[in-house]
Amino acid sequence: MKNSKNHGESAAKNSALTFNISRRTFLQRCTMIAAATSLPLWFVQGQQLMAAETTKLPTPNNRPGIALVGCGGMGKGDATNASAYGDILAVCDVDENHAAAAAVQFTVEGRVPTIYSDFRKVMERDDIHIIVNATPDHWHTLVNLAAAKAHKDVYGEKPLTLTIDEGRHIVKAVHENKIVLQTGTQQRSNQRFRLACELVRNGRLGKLQQARVWLPAGLRAGPFQSSPIPAGLNWDFWQGQAPAADYVTERCHANFRFWYEYSGGTMTDWGAHHNDIAYWAIGLLAPTKVESKHLSEPIAGGYNAYADYEVNYTYANGIGLQINTTKDDSIYGAHVNPQGQPNGIRFEGTDGWIWVNRDEIKASNPELLKTPLPADAVRLYQSKNHMGNFIDCVRSRDLPICDVETGHRSATMCHLGAISLRTGKNLTWDSTAEQFVGDNAADANRYLVREMRKPYDYSFVA
């Protein structure tokens, strides 16, 4: 009996010691993470306790086949992330050089991805289950529609569409064909942004009065001279639905976003990230009022998306959202890019403000961050890995963190600003009808859809 008692006491002491060591290790790890990320300790501890969310890697016999469509830098980055969960079986690009480079990069143990120049051929393969769509903005919709009709799940780069009207086509196709679509607005899977949104949603700032978004200014240069089309580039296919134009080096590949024909400038580029977070925090479907001013004019013969601007939205409950590209030295904690411009979001309420971007989260009073939210607080969709969340949903068939409707509504915010800049008029938006109403509606509604150059219209993927 004595030996048994001693054994029991020893086991209990060992158990307590193990618990204390584990608890100490846990607290140390959380403290290190909090220091490295600027996240409050209580939030980090909660995330670590919920770490079971991590995506399980598939077995060698349970890896989906993946095709990359659009083999530029972003596409290869997305495909690299996806390759942790599946096999890159095909790469597709209208630039033979881009496709060839991607094929080399994703060759594994001598297995070379098949190269395509027409994405429609990719959709015919039964062994491809996922499409990573990283084409320029003006190709997003047709590639996504083709994938949906072929019953392929999609990880699609932002913004979801080139126009608001295209968004309804995509939403309809995704629902009808029951595919999973994740919009590549990966800030939703960043803990800093989710924390900021949860604090705003739970009234940590008192009554939210406005959000202010700072975006990088666009490029303002030109005029540019046309030049011979590079070998291996199908320039007509690259232009797609956009009006035909002579080849200009600055039009193609990385700088496409500064041309209105293919994108919407930084309003739809970086704006697709930060405006999406503002949308998440505010929690309303869309603003009702939009007004704007451009602070510089495009140079004739050069980039034609507005580079410097301010856009102001008003929501039905009176909350304001300001988007601008100007430098403001008064913003505490603003992350300044090499051009001297802030890049991030500041939420302002009756009880203070919170600033957040990809590098930091700060507040007017540190206690706004340090004080834990109550147990019954509003919690938002949690994801710590945007591609991993997509793969989880491919398996479960659940909605991903930035599903097609969310991606459409976030893109709509950006398009509303771009349309206001194009028209130069104050506009009123009906988010249910997805139409402008009231004064200037007729002029603005013309921008909801763009004429598609044949043969690159909807019949191209019919």
What digits encode the pLDDT tens for the residues 53-108?
Answer: 455 666 656 899 999 999 999 999 999 999 999 999 999 999 999 999 999 999 99
Residue appearing with tokens 């139409």: 435
Of the candidates 126, 134, 100, 135, the residue with the CA atom closest to the CA atom of residue 114: 100
Last residue of a domain, one of 137, 172, 187: 187
Say what the pLDDT of residue 7 is.
47
Last residue of a domain, one of 145, 164, 187: 187
What digits encode the pLDDT tens for the residues 281-293?
Answer: 999 999 999 999 9
Of the candidates 299, 294, 297, 289, the residue with the CA atom closest to the CA atom of residue 431: 289
Residue appearing with tokens 């490295």: 36
Exposed / middle / buried, residue 300 (Cβ in 10 Å: 0-12, 13-18, 19+):
exposed
pTM of the model: 0.89
Residue 379 sits in the same domain as residue 424? yes
Exposed / middle / buried, residue 207 (Cβ in 10 Å: 0-12, 13-18, 19+):
exposed
Q: Which domain holds residue 25?
A: 2-53
| CA–CA separation, 143 and 126 (whole Å) | 17
Residue 36 sits in the same domain as residue 105? no
Q: Is the N-terminal amide bond of 455 cis, ω within 30° of 0? A: yes
Q: How many other C-beta atoms can be found within 10 angstroms of the C-beta atom of residue 37?
A: 17
Q: Residues 170, 164: contact at Cβ < 8 Å?
A: no
With respect to residue 30, please indicate whether it lies within any of the assigned structural domains: yes
Q: Residues 89, 114: contact at Cβ < 8 Å?
A: yes
Residue 128 sits in the same domain as residue 201? no
Residue 352 sits in the same domain as residue 337? yes
Non-local (6+) Cβ contacts of 243 within 8 A are 261, 453
Q: Residues 143, 155: contact at Cβ < 8 Å?
A: no
| Burial call 236-268: b when 16+ CB within 10 Å, e when fewer | eebbbbbeeeebbebbbeebbbbbbbbbbbbbb
With respect to residue 400, please indicate whether it lies within any of the assigned structural domains: no
What digits encode the pLDDT tens for the residues 398-450?
Answer: 999 999 999 999 999 999 999 999 999 999 999 999 999 999 999 999 999 99
Angle at 288 between CA 285 and CA 293, to 5 degrees: 120
Residue appearing with tokens 């206001």: 420
| CA–CA separation, 290 and 449 (whole Å) | 18
Residue 118 sits in the same domain as residue 179? yes
